[in-house]
A and B are shown apart, each in its own frame.
Chain A
Amino acid sequence: MSFISGNLEENEAYLKEQFDPCSDIVMRTYILNDGSKLLLLYIDGMIRLQSIEDNVLRPLINNGLPQGIDRIRSLAEMLGREWLPLTNVKTEQTLEGLIQHILKGSLALLVDGMASSLIAQVQDFETRSVQEPKKESTLRGSKEGFVENIRTNTSMIRRRIVHPDLKMESFTIGRYTQTEVVLAYIRGLASEKVLAEVREKLGRIEADGIIDSSYIEEWIENSSFSIFPQIQNTERPDIAAVSLLEGKVVLITNGTPFALILPVTFWSGLQSADDYFERFVFIILTRLIRYTLTFVSLALPAIYVALSTFHPDMIPSSLMINIATARESSPFPTVIELFLMMFIFDGLQEAGVHLPNQLGPVVSIIGALVIGQAAVEAGLISTPIIIVISLTGVAAYTIPRYSSTLPFRLIRYLLLIVSGLLGFVGFTFGIIFLLIHLVMLESFGTPYLSPVAPFDGKRIKDVVIRYPFWAKKGKSKGGGKR
């Protein structure tokens, strides 16, 4: 750690060496009319130049040192008193700190004969404006979404929770990116154990860079090899605020609109913000549909294989004859057929994500025509398979969060393999393994399947049937305090 020296030339030489070659760094020396030298350092495009010109440079150059109640003799004295017409001003003694501030978009003022630098935080760079979150849009409720700027994001939460107990601890992670991560929680609601664990894990991250909150997620999650997400992400400040009120912890990362919420359970992945914005009676129906289709999305291909090729006696006669008729000329076994179709379906999905917007319809046309119709007419794939796969695919999208659909897409393949080999025996074993895994899984000390297993009578009021808000009193305390 080296300190700023009193000699401006020395400082300038050091900084020049540090910032060489950085074309976006601006170093500008002014000699005022009393002969004193002023060095301005900033990154082009990251500060409000207008405000510096108006408030600092023009008065100094045109009028000389500002004279207030006291008489200021030198520029050094003026800066020593932080006598600048700007609000966010502080003094920095070390060169490393100085460089950090410059890189983050502050303006540094160095003066001959002063062993410190004045930092004016006048960051101003182009950011995206607040928009409606596209991935988590709701029919009712706030239309605000997080943006890339961390301070905008924290302010959105702060506006929703107006209480001093809302705490926001700041961490800087990443050797090169120096990403700011804010740990938000409500003191008294959030569990101290979870907080300690998160703080400790954040401190242990040794990464060169944190580009997105997903980096943090992978560093701090408990079971990295589990297919189930143990941390939820959201673009919605209202969800973040509600989670805070439920005693959860929110991690906001600079540079990404996705905030992390922890700890989570299996059920929170299946719940949508709309569940709280519509009247609770209808939510019973929508949740039942969602849960049923979630099961369909992971099990239907497996059940179809098990039923039609291992236990055809379990299907009603007329349906079985229908299936047999449709399969009469299929060249592949049912399992292979399903596997092919699932593969193609996932391929189409992947293609759809990467295609530029203008080309989107191409994939849907090719998908619908080639895979839907032509394959059946050519006798390659039987019609029930198409129905099963499209139903499965559609069912997966009733799950409101994209990251929660991913595990089910994976399990679908695994269950299909075991069912294709062993029929319902295999399917049952697959489901048992899945349940064993889910029961053993924990997210920051919270059992993943709670409040169902272990059972919690208070919190169960929000799993299948969302009780009206007045009937769930005390629920918010159940989440954190244990």
Chain B
Amino acid sequence: MIRLLFRRSVPLVLSLVLSSCTDIVEPNQLAFVLGTSIDPAEGGQIEVGHQIVIPTQKSGPFDGLSESSEGFVVLSATGRDVFEASEKVQKKLSRKLMTSHRILIAISEDFINKNDVSALFDKLNRDPANNERDVTVMIKGSAKQFLTLGHPMEHLSSIAADKEMQVNGLKSFSTRQFIIDSVSEGTRPLLPTLQIQNAKLSSKITTPIAQWSGYAFLNKRLKVKGALNETEGSGVLWMSGKMMSQGLTVPWKDGKGALSFRLTHLRRQIRSGGNPEHVVLTVKAQAYLLENTTSLDMSEVNNKRMAERYVNDQLQKDLQAAMDKVRNWGTDAFGIGEHLHRKHPYWWKKQRDDWDDKFKSLNVTVKADIKLRSSGTSGAQLKP
């Protein structure tokens, strides 16, 4: 049998070799797209910009790129859909666009408000040459301009944005998650927002760089209904289960000093009991005290207990405020609708069509359950 197969395979191999019929693509025939921007263009068209790495013949991939400041190019074109625009970009390029390595998709706020964002999903989902692990962010201003920016630490602004999210404990902001949130009935997507601001990096250099400005909350039709700044937003992220760790600073009740914690193992739990109109959302975390400017001696067990209780109360108050804000916009970024869908399917059938409105009048109570795991290596404050 082997011999037969061998005889059969020789002509096959030969025919492939002689006709040079293969799918082979050398790496120097590819243009690696690391970031894509989506901006509105005139006449309801889309402007698609691709941030493309320039591989240079240097010892390392990015060696010397930062000095000459440009290790990349941004090429853009307009079209009726993403494909048409990308084809126009391709015409300007000597290499084949390769979107599988994309790290980030930046959508401008204008585009979200003017166009139908869900029209982008089809291309992202249908074309297998897209990896949906890239993150989706919203840019205040021009998304294309964001791509052209440099970054003091990283070589590309898209790499920088991605790493910033990772290092700050944000998860589940991939394009795939964005699409899932958008199409599901009981969850509304939220997008991290970047703003271009001038930053003074040293005594001489002042350059515009993209900075986190907060989070945008989208409704069922994917329009921005509200925005929260970063401090408030991180509480919402915790409540929607999209954050892994964060810092927390609580001013002490006597107004003198504050307690700062690192919170890890962030979790949240939604409970509705028998009544779907009353939902309890519990957030849980482990806290590690890292700074104490109050007069408390945190090696005392009673002080520890008191501090834990106080921090929980304060946190609960803050989170409830943030929750009420978001609830008033009607954007259920927490997935409470999904929870109720599973718990009360018959009740849900009557609610799902105008969930955005129904969510506004829902009674959601936030409870905090933080466990103080460590009070650090010193007891009382060091006093001279």
Query: Which residues of A approach B to under 8 Å, CB–CB?
Result: 308-310, 312-313, 317-318, 320-325, 327-330, 333-335, 417-418, 420-423, 433, 436-437, 440
Taken together as a complex, chains A and B put the C-alpha atoms of A322 and B58 apart, in Å, by 10
Interface: B25 (CB within 8 A): yes
Residues of A with C-beta under 8 A to B17: 421
A333 in contact with B26 (CB, 8 Å): yes
Residue of B nearest to A421 (CB): B16
A421 in contact with B58 (CB, 8 Å): no
Q: How far is the CB of A424 from chain B (nearest CB, A)?
A: 10
Given known contacts A318-B61, A322-B61, A328-B57, A334 and B101 CB-to-CB distance under 8 angstroms: no
Taken together as a complex, chains A and B put the C-alpha atoms of A273 and B60 apart, in Å, by 43
Picked from A313, A320, A418, A423, the residue with its CB within 8 Å of the CB of B13 is A418
Residues of B with C-beta under 8 A to A421: 13, 16-17, 22
B55 in contact with A324 (CB, 8 Å): yes
A433 in contact with B27 (CB, 8 Å): no
B27 in contact with A312 (CB, 8 Å): yes
Query: Which residues of B approach A to under 8 Å, CB–CB?
Result: 1-2, 5, 13, 16-17, 22-28, 30, 32, 34, 53, 55-58, 60-61, 98, 100-101, 103, 129, 131
Given known contacts A421-B13, A421-B17, A321 and B25 CB-to-CB distance under 8 angstroms: no
B13 in contact with A420 (CB, 8 Å): no
Residues of A with C-beta under 8 A to B56: 325, 328
Q: How far is the CB of A443 from chain B (nearest CB, A)?
A: 16
Taken together as a complex, chains A and B put the C-alpha atoms of A359 and B2 apart, in Å, by 44
The 10 sampled A-B contact pairs (Cβ below 8 Å) are A310-B24, A312-B98, A321-B32, A324-B28, A325-B56, A328-B55, A329-B57, A333-B24, A421-B16, A423-B22
Taken together as a complex, chains A and B put the C-alpha atoms of A231 and B23 apart, in Å, by 41
Taken together as a complex, chains A and B put the C-alpha atoms of A320 and B55 apart, in Å, by 10
Given known contacts A317-B103, A320-B32, A421-B17, A327 and B23 CB-to-CB distance under 8 angstroms: no
A317 in contact with B32 (CB, 8 Å): yes
Residue of B nearest to A422 (CB): B22
Picked from B2, B98, B101, the residue with its CB within 8 Å of the CB of A437 is B2
Taken together as a complex, chains A and B put the C-alpha atoms of A324 and B25 apart, in Å, by 11
Q: How far is the CB of A293 from chain B (nearest CB, A)?
A: 26
Given known contacts A310-B23, A421-B22, A437-B2, A324 and B16 CB-to-CB distance under 8 angstroms: no
Q: How far is the CB of A286 from chain B (nearest CB, A)?
A: 33
Picked from B2, B5, B13, B26, the residue with its CB within 8 Å of the CB of A309 is B26
Taken together as a complex, chains A and B put the C-alpha atoms of A39 and B55 apart, in Å, by 90
Residues of B with C-beta under 8 A to A320: 27, 32, 101
Q: How far is the CB of B33 from chain A (nearest CB, A)?
A: 10
Residues of B with C-beta under 8 A to A323: 27
Taken together as a complex, chains A and B put the C-alpha atoms of A455 and B58 apart, in Å, by 52
